[in-house]
Amino acid sequence: MKKTFTLLTFLAGIFSFASAQLNVELQANLPYNYTLNDIWGHTTPDSVEYALVGTTEGLSIVSLKDPTQPVELQFIPGQHTVWRDIKTWGEFAYVVSDNTNEGMLIVDMSTLPADTARYEYWEGPVGELGMLRKSHNIYIDEFGLAYLAGSNLGSIIVLDVKEDPWNPKFILKTASPYAHDVYARDSVIYTSEIYEGEFSAYDFKDPDSVIYLGGALTPFRFTHNAWLSDDSKTIFTTDERANAYVASFDISDYDNIKELDRIRPAATEGEGVIPHNVHVYNDYLITSHYTDGVIIVDASRPDNLIQVGNYDTYTGANGGFSGAWGAYPFLPSGTTLVADRQNGLFVLKPNYVRGCYLEGVVLDSETNKPIFNAEIKISGDEIISSDFSDIAGEFKMGKAVPGTYTVTAELLEYNMGSVEAVFENGVQTDVVIYLVPKARASITGTVLSSSFAPGAVADANVIFINDDFTYQTTSNSEGIYLLSDMIEGSYKVYAGNWGEYVIKNIDVTVSGNEDLIIEPGYYDDFHFDYGWSVSGTSTGAHWVRDIPISETLMGFQCNPAVDIPEDIAYSAFMTGNTGGDAQDNSVEEGFTMLSSPRMDLSTMNEPIMRIRPWLCVSNTETQVYSMLISNGVDTVLIDTIRTSGNAGFWRLLNSFELRDLIEMTEDMRIHFKAENNTFGNVVKAALDEFVVIDGNPTSTKDVIGVSNFSIFPNPASGQFTIDLGDDLDGITPDQIVIINNLGQVVTALRWPVGQSVVTVNRALFPGVYFVQLTRDGNAGTTQKLVVQ
């Protein structure tokens, strides 16, 4: 949840303001005309503190003699660069920059504030390696050894700056893979090998024989930086990826490194926030999180990381690389410095508190056995991420604000359980939560055909599904299906094969009998494998049937994150489905064709096709996604799917009357062709809910009967609630569709069965949207929503 300095945000409520700052006080903000990057601090022998602020154009030296009124004393210009990194040794500052050829800036600050600091750019030579031109990062250890990562000289370069601060002495070069960042203590180097996705530890007590000690992969496989705990037993890491974690690892035994815990800001979970740099101060983690500002975590128990403070320096939308680049917490006064790329230097005063620690176990009330993977939540206004019980039923979590709160445990097969618990800062509270199993039921019946050969249908697919559970089977030789030990509830049911199907809603209670009569027609939401074929010449991605994995392109959703919410199950067809950057998984240098199984449409009077396509391209002027129909002799174009923007979305496409296009035969097929012959263009296509039936597919469906609904708050930020009210006429929607002001569907969500009030939590860019409630694909009433 973001704060903005506007009247609308102020009126949005006290909680949004509180969530942007917890246990941290703003002392001052110094804006710049430049974009900022790294931040470090310095304290003179007479205890005056300074901020050393990296900018794209050079180094800014700022006096904090009065921390409420920071004053820039000197600006040292440098070559333009996005990346500038700063560390200190004694009275000297050492500044490196990437994407330049200026070497390393050395600054003598001993003359401050009476006189300006003396400085020069040092290039070496560095031993026999050559001249230093650039370096991405620098760290200086307790022995006065400077470690340069990502330099033009390769790997890690170690220099002695203690002996002669103006003339660093070359010590060694490691043979490790490319390290984006480096930390060192007790003659052990800890590298953040970003492209390897791991951290590594190297012993260099003997400079002539550097020894690899061990390492581990980090959660998002893009290790940006690492910092050691005060006792050197734990290392904390960041992955510079959207929605990534700060993670803790036990390194007390390099042969058996174990991940202990991971944490990310709960208030903006899933909104694309990226962690950047973590530092450790008195067993607290102080981490810059770009658009979320600085986050403070109690890490005194590294297997139970608890957020205890935060201050959001950035006023824009979440996600991306704007906002807090770095945070420096090591000034003797306790002041923390934050460099916000757009908003300048922030001088903050944290109130460091220990977390309120919660530990517990979840048990089955009937068997007293531990329950695995139960979701644990703590009540209250403080936004806290859920935890999940482990294989022993145990969990560890906590909160920053003390008090008495309700702790709940939920697992789909059980009724929710809860206990009241007292939380105190620095104190561990232990709880036991018992869960009562939900009632079970069985259902049986016969799958019957209403087609030309009526009677029982053997080997028919049968699936019962709702938001929580999926049960599936096939009918036997007599057409009988049986599902036992089901959780009672309302289910959407699909039964059929390729060529006949039925979809209906059934309440499963105790035990019952339900015959399923299937009608002629073709329905496929790609849960079952009905034999679609893939061909083509693409050297990149091809069509695959899978559960969608999110891929992004320039910050836009490019591969679906989920299939359409109103179909039966969770799969779709996509052109590649690996996740990550869509540029790495595009159709390339040719086409990929998805072809349906054979369909007999010769007996249909008015065959109608309805589909839900998806298209994301980097060049919106290209026509790269086409639908074709063939009858065994001829092939004709049905339509070409176009897009006016880079973002992909599931489309509400019109139905197509197939007989108007081509002669119907017993050998009909539909083809979906995604093509890309433009170098550098990205093409991502997807397909879901394929339907061909006889007659207008919407002619017998009722438009949703909700006469009105309300949205609040409106304007909204982060989340909003839809209330159907009391005038339902026994009918509720089955999905929520959110449309932008260009008429594009930006998201669609299932409406929970039996609910009249639903809270929607989706990251939407500021603007005007339209919220539409639908039933069986038909539009109902619509309300305007303003997102700020």
189, two tokens: 């180097």
Tell me what the mean pLDDT of segment 575-591 comes to.
91
Cα 79 versus chain centre, distance: 35
- Residue 784 has what pLDDT? 76
Give whichever of 450-464, 592-606, 608-622 has the largest mean pLDDT.
592-606
Q: Which of 37, 48, 78, 6 is nearest to 344 (CA)?
A: 37
3-state secondary structure of 339: strand
The amino acid that residue 464 corresponds to is: F
* Mean of the per-residue pLDDT values of the chain: 89
* Euclidean distance between CA atoms 669 and 600, whole angstroms: 9
By CB atoms closer than 10 A (0-12, 13-18, 19+), residue 47 is: exposed
- Residue 505 has what pLDDT? 87
By CB atoms closer than 10 A (0-12, 13-18, 19+), residue 756 is: middle
- Least confident span in 16-30, 171-185, 542-556: 16-30
Residue 17 has pLDDT above 70, yes or no: no
Confidence class of residue 4 from pLDDT cuts 50, 70 and 90?
A: very low
Give the side-chain half-sphere CA count within 13 A for 643. 25
* Euclidean distance between CA atoms 414 and 372, whole angstroms: 12
- Residue 714 has what pLDDT? 82
| Structural domains for the chain | 23-350 (2.130.10.10), 356-437 (2.60.40.1120), 441-522 (2.60.40.1120), 533-694 (2.60.120.200), 710-787 (2.60.40.10)
pLDDT in tens, 739-767: 765 555 667 777 787 778 888 887 777 77
Residue 442 has pLDDT above 80, yes or no: yes
Residue 350 has pLDDT above 60, yes or no: yes
Neighbours of 479 (CB within 10 A): 19
Tell me what the mean pLDDT of segment 563-592 comes to.
90
pLDDT in tens, 220-259: 999 999 999 999 999 999 999 999 999 999 999 999 999 9
Q: Where is pLDDT greater, at 344 or 710? A: 344
Return the residue matching tokens 């110094």.
30
Residue 622 has pLDDT above 80, yes or no: no
- Residue 740 has what pLDDT? 66
* Euclidean distance between CA atoms 151 and 146, whole angstroms: 13
Sequence-separated contacts (24+) of 236-241 with Cβ below 8 Å = 236/278, 236/280, 236/285, 236/299, 236/302, 237/192, 237/199, 237/278, 238/275, 238/276, 238/277, 238/278, 238/287, 239/197, 239/275, 240/194, 240/274, 240/275, 240/276, 241/274
Confidence class of residue 270 from pLDDT cuts 50, 70 and 90?
A: confident
pLDDT in tens, 30-83: 999 999 999 999 999 989 999 999 999 999 999 999 999 999 999 999 999 999
- Least confident span in 51-65, 194-208, 384-398, 440-454: 440-454
Residue 635 has pLDDT above 50, yes or no: yes
Confidence class of residue 624 from pLDDT cuts 50, 70 and 90?
A: confident
Residue 14 has pLDDT above 50, yes or no: no
Residue 776 has pLDDT above 70, yes or no: no
605, two tokens: 């009077």
* Percent of the chain whose pLDDT exceeds 70: 92
Tell me what the mean pLDDT of segment 281-299 comes to.
97
Kindly report the pTM of this predicted structure: 0.72
Q: Which residues contact 430 (CB under 8 A, 6 or more apart)?
A: 359, 360
Tell me what the mean pLDDT of segment 310-320 comes to.
92
* Percent of the chain whose pLDDT exceeds 90: 70
3-state secondary structure of 162: coil
Tell me what the mean pLDDT of segment 275-303 comes to.
97
Q: Where is pLDDT greater, at 719 or 15? A: 719
Neighbours of 268 (CB within 10 A): 23
* Euclidean distance between CA atoms 237 and 275, whole angstroms: 10
8 Å CB contact between 51 and 39? yes
Strands 572-575 and 556-559: unpaired
- Residue 554 has what pLDDT? 77
The amino acid that residue 273 corresponds to is: V
Residue 16 has pLDDT above 50, yes or no: no
- Residue 778 has what pLDDT? 59
Tell me what the mean pLDDT of segment 344-355 comes to.
98
The amino acid that residue 111 corresponds to is: T
Please give the C-alpha separations between residue 359 and each of 44, 293, 304, 374, 395, in angstroms, as whole numbers.
44, 29, 9, 14, 6
Residue 770 has pLDDT above 80, yes or no: no
- Residue 743 has what pLDDT? 53
β-pair partners for 650: none
* Euclidean distance between CA atoms 708 and 733, whole angstroms: 12
- Residue 511 has what pLDDT? 85
- Residue 643 has what pLDDT? 74
Confidence class of residue 645 from pLDDT cuts 50, 70 and 90?
A: low
Residue 726 has pLDDT above 80, yes or no: no
Sheet holding 428-437, edge to edge: 394-399, 356-364, 428-437, 414-415
- Residue 696 has what pLDDT? 47
- Residue 328 has what pLDDT? 98
- Residue 730 has what pLDDT? 53
* Euclidean distance between CA atoms 660 and 716, whole angstroms: 46
Confidence class of residue 123 from pLDDT cuts 50, 70 and 90?
A: very high
Residue 788 has pLDDT above 80, yes or no: no
- How far is the first Cα of the chain from the last one, in angstroms, to the nearest whole number? 11
8 Å CB contact between 198 and 217? yes
* Euclidean distance between CA atoms 642 and 148, whole angstroms: 49
- The secondary structure of residue 752, as a DSSP letter, is P
11 sits in which H/E element: helix 7-11
Q: Which residues contact 658 (CB under 8 A, 6 or more apart)?
A: 601, 607, 608, 609, 629, 638, 664, 668, 692
Residue 775 has pLDDT above 50, yes or no: yes
